[in-house]
Structure 1
């Protein structure tokens, strides 16, 4: 489920690095992040353990404060500021975007040093493949709105730094692809319902027939999110 693993991003500033998603509770990983240099601040994109399970140990290694949208679930020291607010860390501006959908507390970040701008998306947009909308914590309607926010925000030359997978050179293009994919999946779910499917599992067996069965439980949660969304929007 983590593709090549979970990405921890270090953004260099004059005051030390800003770390985005310290990562899981794995000592070699956390030690490597801490050894990269002084850490001024850490930000968690959402509460899943592969992104923030190591927060307590990370804090003891670096002494850096950790901010999150949901402090209680992420183990952070304090809440992120409201969406649209900017964290100014000596030479680096980081704008917070609320992008719920994968989880209720998911955020994305726009970071710029005045020359280069990157979009950090956590699990809202991945470097390859698509993400899971983790029903019931996740919400497909909110997720589609979040993708629209990212599409309007991103510029063509911004690099996309995802929570999993490789860097993508064109953030807007990737987000546009994600929107098209989600709409196509919704059409496939509608078609499966028209064909007689009645449960999320029925739909997974039709729509995700070509997907490795080990991924079907995650696909089923995404289909449950789709059914909840369709029940509130379709006649």
Structure 2
């Protein structure tokens, strides 16, 4: 058991470690998916599960592709959370959820539906990240497409691991469309999506595009050094 001794400034924990802080007993749960080092905490006194960024208060979580986000692990972690049968879910965003099973099953259903639509888009001829995002998220505000693109990329990886992608679909060519090509096509789609484009719209597009470029560069550097 790990106790609250902060003399060294920090305490290292891993999955299944038990932590005791002020009489409150917590079990560390290794929960990769959102990132490769994501951790959840089970409050043993109340059987409440602190899920971090695995769940959000509204909508679905965006996996961090620049920090080891992985769709296969995300599914596995969600099933592990279900097996724990927590009484309450506490996420880092949004309200406490009193119906953990319904929430987690809803997340699984949403992710399966998204993945099925991604496969449908690919089977219909979509070969680039932008084409897939535009098809799957056609009814979603285009400002959300940048964030959604991370999940799409991880879903494509998950489909590849399951050997579900059509033989004519090239993973390497797809990855080549995930950087500046996607950003430039998104900027055009976003700014041309309204007849009245104000300065604020261009500013938002520029800021989001800048962030996307930084993520793209960071991802490439990570791949080169790994």
TM-score (norm 2): 0.66
What residue in structure 2 maps to residue 99 of structure 1? 31
Superposed CA RMSD in Å reads 2.2
User: In the alignment, is the contact (CA less than 8 A) between 1:160 and 1:171 conserved in 2?
Assistant: yes
88, 91, 94: which one aligns with 2:20: 88
- Report how far residue 121 of structure 1 moved: 0.6
Match of 1:118 among 35, 38, 48: 48
Large movers: runs of 4+ above 4 Å: 64-67
In structure 1, C-alpha distance between the alignment counterparts of 2:7 and 2:50, rounded to whole Å:
16
Partner of 2:41: 109
Q: CA deviation at 1:209?
A: 1.2
1:168 corresponds in structure 2 to 97
Could you tell me whether the CA contact under 8 Å between 1:119 and 1:154 is conserved in 2? Answer: no
Structure 1 position 139, deviation (Å): 0.6
- Give the number of the structure whose alpha-carbon radius of gyration is greater: 2
Unaligned runs of 5+ in 1: 1-39, 42-63, 68-75
Match of 2:108 in 1: 179
Which residue is equivalent to 1:61?
A: none
1:78 aligns to what SS in structure 2? Answer: coil
Distance 1:99 1:211, change over 3 A: same
Distance in 1, matches of 2:154 and 2:106, equals 20
Query: 1:134–1:225: 8 Å Cα contact kept in structure 2?
Result: no
Match of 2:83 in 1: 152
Instruction: Summarize the alignment of residues 196-215 of structure 1 with structure 2, pairs less than 5 Å apart.
Output: 196-215=125-144
Counterpart CA distance in 2 for 1:65 and 1:141 is 35
Aligned residues: 161
Where does residue 57 of structure 2 map in the other structure?
127
Residue ranges of structure 2 left out of the alignment (5+ in a row): 165-226
Higher percent of residues as strand: 1
Cα distance per residue 1:30-49 (max 9 Å; x no partner): xxxxxxxxxx96xxxxxxxx
Tell me, in whole angstroms, the C-alpha distance in 1 between the residues paired with 2:7 and 2:80: 25
- The TM-score normalised by the length of structure 1 is 0.63
- Is the aligned partner of 1:226 residue 2:186? no
Residues 66 and 97 of structure 1: is their aligned pair in 2 closer, same or farther, counting only changes over 3 Å?
farther
Provide the secondary structure at the position in 2 that maps to 1:197: coil
